[in-house]
Amino acid sequence: MCGIVGYLGQKPSEQILLDALKTLEYRGYDSAGILTLKEREFKRFRAAGKLVNLEKKVLGQESLAHLGIAHTRWATHGPAIEKNAHPHVVGDVGIVHNGIIENYRELKAALEAQDCVFTSDTDSELVAHLLNFEIQKKLTLIEACLNVRKKLEGAYAILALSSQSLDEVVAFKQGPPLILGIGSDEFILASDLQAILPHTTQIVHFDDGDLVSVNARSKHQFYNSTDEKIEKNILTMDWSPEKAQKQTYPHFMLKEIYEQPKAVAEALKPHINLKNHEVEIQGIKDSFAETQKYFAQVERVFIVSCGTSFYGGLYGEYVLEQIGRVPVEVEVASEFRYRNPVLPPNSLVVFITQSGETADTLAALRLAKEAGVDTLSICNTPHSTIDRESDFSLYMNSGVEIGVASTKAFVSTLSVLALLGIMFGKSKKVLSAEEEQELVQSLLAVPAHIEGLLGYDAFFKEASEELSKSKGFLYLGRGALFPIAMEGALKLKELAYVHAEGYAAGEMKHGPLALIDKEMMCVVIAPQDHLYEKTISNLQEVKARGGQVISVGTVGDKNLDEMSNFFIPMPKAHWVVTPILATLPVQLMAYHLALSMGNDVDQPRNLAKSVTVE
Ligand code: G6P
């Protein structure tokens, strides 16, 4: 939440900062701002709303300074109005902050007692006040930052400038991500690699407690949490920035939905031996035999994640338990981290995260590590904090995802979990070679099936006006399709801002049936599997009470077609694969409903893609 960036180099900074903010806008888009420093003069631009409002203000007014910091905000303290936008300037100091200062009330009260006047409602502004006090005592910017950070509690990544310290940026962090890019004669500091890679592939990751000073003499110096000077590894990224362009698509979300055949293929690719159609999970142990031995001794799996990644985890429970015969518990990270979970020896805790930076998931990972159990991340962002801190890493390989509501990372997650299920099954010798072959072939067919299902783009475009008349939506599924029902409801809530709930179809009689009338739309996921008849009975109960039905089922199912207002046929597939296919219609439905309501599908209100605060 919130994106921060700083630039110090030879080039005019405003355009560089604006371009970097565009890559960070997914982290928050309530307001944005830029502060530059030239010849002891600060120049600040701030604007409420999307980044485009800031761009309009900056255009033609650039200071051309070679030093600046910038911020894109997701509001925590204080509404999204201009006075709360960062950077905050107090006296000789300007700062941007990502995070939450948890002891801000007491710090603010103490500052007010010293006659400090606050001009915003934010917690962040007090950092500028505290630093300014130190600068007025003639301390250097580094000394000021080293002193002030000792007073801060909570989560922060902060960039600071001082008009008394001409060619210098100081950055420090505890919690949210921060990366230093080292170019030739320039530095760029940012929350995310995507903002840095257009300038340099030489980077340094901050650890919690790190502070760095960069200056115009091309020098950088890191300090650790006990204020000692430290040397840190400079990494060379071996990948070039993927251009985050919409290409011919009207929205990133639609582009990312269309990229799903590739996302699934790329998620599967590293782990399937195409010669013998066997699953060989890479990246755990040095040899495959050791990897198998490792999975064989795992006695219990916990899957911990948030949002869409959590629903991915719920699918994992079905697949790992049924195919791998290993007991699985799935939990949202914000609960797991505070309930002192029992983590027996030989447990493996799996963290699913597109961004690799979600604050609760990261805290849960650290808790599991402290408990001494093994940790595995399934992540879409190599080098992210969760990727770096987990014992083992598997990758979604979806490519950069920009749409705030996750799509392609979800189908990649399901694909990786299916592979894990197979890996457990064969390692524990509960899955036969024939079953493995059948599963692998079904998985390899998914990209082609998804291509076909993309045809529902046109269908939902047409149907969206009719569908938007419903007062609410219930999504029903059983087995491994129950998580897809929940994910479908989440997509609709996030994007269309209408009430939607995902339910296990068997739970209808325990409450939700009371909601059914002719204005309630039920999305029933009912392929012809072993639970088909049961789900059909639930559908009948909805129809009998006047509810409307969109069914997602097996191609050629005339019975289901006749019972439904709209019928969405899918190819017949293995039960492990059907949830991946059923994801397509629920994504496309949410996308088109949101569009028909005039909503911003890439940046839905009140949300952010990377939730780096609690
Ligand atoms: C936010 C995003 C969701 C995402 C969730 C978890 O809420 O809007 O799309 O599923 O965070 O994010 P993660 O990066 O940990 O998967």
Which CATH number characterizes residue 40's domain? Answer: 3.60.20.10
Strand partners, 96: 159
Closest CA to 175 of 150, 148, 157: 157
Confidence of residue 239 (pLDDT cuts 50, 70, 90): low
Binding site membership of 304 for ligand 1 (Cβ less than 6 Å): no
- Residue holding tokens 């008009």? 163
Res 196 pLDDT > 80: yes
Domain co-membership, 110 together with 187: yes
| Mean pLDDT value of segment 111-126 | 94
Q: What is the pLDDT of residue 398?
A: 96
Q: What is the phi-psi region of residue 116: left when phi exceeds 0, alpha when psi lies from -120 to 50, beta otherwise?
A: beta
- Residue holding tokens 């840095």? 196
Res 585 pLDDT > 70: yes
The separation between CA 285 and the C-alpha centre of its own chain, rounded to angstroms, equals: 27
Res 243 pLDDT > 80: no
Whether 609 sits among the annotated catalytic residues: the reply is yes
Domain co-membership, 364 together with 291: yes
Domain co-membership, 411 together with 518: no
408 C-alpha to center of ligand 1: Å? 12
Amino acid at 165: S
Domain co-membership, 300 together with 226: no
Res 240 pLDDT > 70: no
Q: How many CB atoms lie within 10 A of CB 239?
A: 10
Of 401, 406, 610, 614, which is best to mutate to test ligand 1, by the most ligand atoms within 8 angstroms of its C-beta? 406
pLDDT tens per residue, range 449-477: 999 999 999 999 999 999 999 999 999 99
Q: Is 208 inside any structural domain?
A: yes
Domain co-membership, 105 together with 195: yes
Domain co-membership, 344 together with 477: no
Q: What is the pLDDT of residue 77?
A: 84
Q: What is the pTM of this model?
A: 0.89
Domain co-membership, 355 together with 483: no
Of 444, 464, 480, which marks where a domain is finished?
Answer: 444
Q: Which parts of 498-611 are beta strand (E)?
A: 500-504, 520-526, 548-554, 566-570
Q: Is 611 inside any structural domain?
A: no
Given a contact cutoff of 8 angstroms between Cβ atoms, the answer to whether 349 and 304 are in contact is yes
Of 383, 411, 444, which marks where a domain is finished?
Answer: 444
Query: Would you call 88 helix, strand, or coil by DSSP?
Result: strand
Q: pLDDT averaged over the chain?
A: 95
User: What count of Cα atoms within 13 Å lies in the side-chain half-sphere of residue 63?
Assistant: 19
Domain co-membership, 214 together with 302: no
Res 495 pLDDT > 60: yes
DSSP secondary structure, 388-429, as one string: HHSSEEEE-------SSS--HHHHHHHHHHHHHHHHHHHHTT
- Number of structural domains (the chain) is 3
97 C-alpha to center of ligand 1: Å? 21
How far is it, in rounded angstroms, from Cα 325 to Cα 317? 10
DSSP letter for 233, please: P
Q: What is the pLDDT of residue 399?
A: 92
How far is it, in rounded angstroms, from Cα 601 to Cα 594? 7
Report the chain's terminal Cα–Cα distance, integer Å.
10
Domain co-membership, 261 together with 125: no
Q: What is the pLDDT of residue 217?
A: 77
Query: Would you call 241 helix, strand, or coil by DSSP?
Result: coil
Domain co-membership, 254 together with 169: no
The separation between CA 47 and the C-alpha centre of its own chain, rounded to angstroms, equals: 25
Closest CA to 386 of 349, 331, 345: 349
Q: What is the phi-psi region of residue 50: left when phi exceeds 0, alpha when psi lies from -120 to 50, beta otherwise?
A: beta
Strand partners, 457: none
Domain co-membership, 259 together with 367: yes
Query: Would you call 5 helix, strand, or coil by DSSP?
Result: strand
Q: Is 449 inside any structural domain?
A: no
- Domain residues for the domain of 520 are 455-605
Q: Is 613 inside any structural domain?
A: no
Token pair of 361 as six digits: 């998931």
406 C-alpha to center of ligand 1: Å? 7
Q: What is the pLDDT of residue 610?
A: 82
How far is it, in rounded angstroms, from Cα 455 to Cα 462? 12
pLDDT tens per residue, range 1-22: 799 999 999 999 999 999 999 9
Binding site membership of 493 for ligand 1 (Cβ less than 6 Å): no
Which residue out of 22, 108, 493, 609 is catalytically annotated? 609
pLDDT tens per residue, range 569-579: 999 999 999 99
CATH of the domain at 504: 3.40.50.10490
Buried b (16+ CB within 10 A) or exposed e, 591-613: bbbbbbeebebbbbeebbbbbbb
Residue closest by Cα to atom 7 of ligand 1: 307
Q: Is 219 inside any structural domain?
A: yes
Which residue out of 2, 145, 379, 522 is catalytically annotated? 2
How far is it, in rounded angstroms, from Cα 462 to Cα 37? 52
Query: Would you call 305 helix, strand, or coil by DSSP?
Result: strand
Q: Is 598 inside any structural domain?
A: yes
Confidence of residue 147 (pLDDT cuts 50, 70, 90): very high
Backbone angles phi, psi at 224, to 5 degrees: -95, -170
Of 412, 444, 476, which marks where a domain is finished?
Answer: 444
Q: Which helix (H) or strand (E) holds 351?
A: strand 347-353
Q: Which residues contact 338 (CB under 8 A, 6 or more apart)?
A: none
Domain co-membership, 48 together with 167: yes
Strand partners, 394: 378
Token pair of 47 as six digits: 């604007």
Q: Which residues contact 598 (CB under 8 A, 6 or more apart)?
A: none
Q: Is 307 inside any structural domain?
A: yes
Whether 116 sits among the annotated catalytic residues: the reply is no
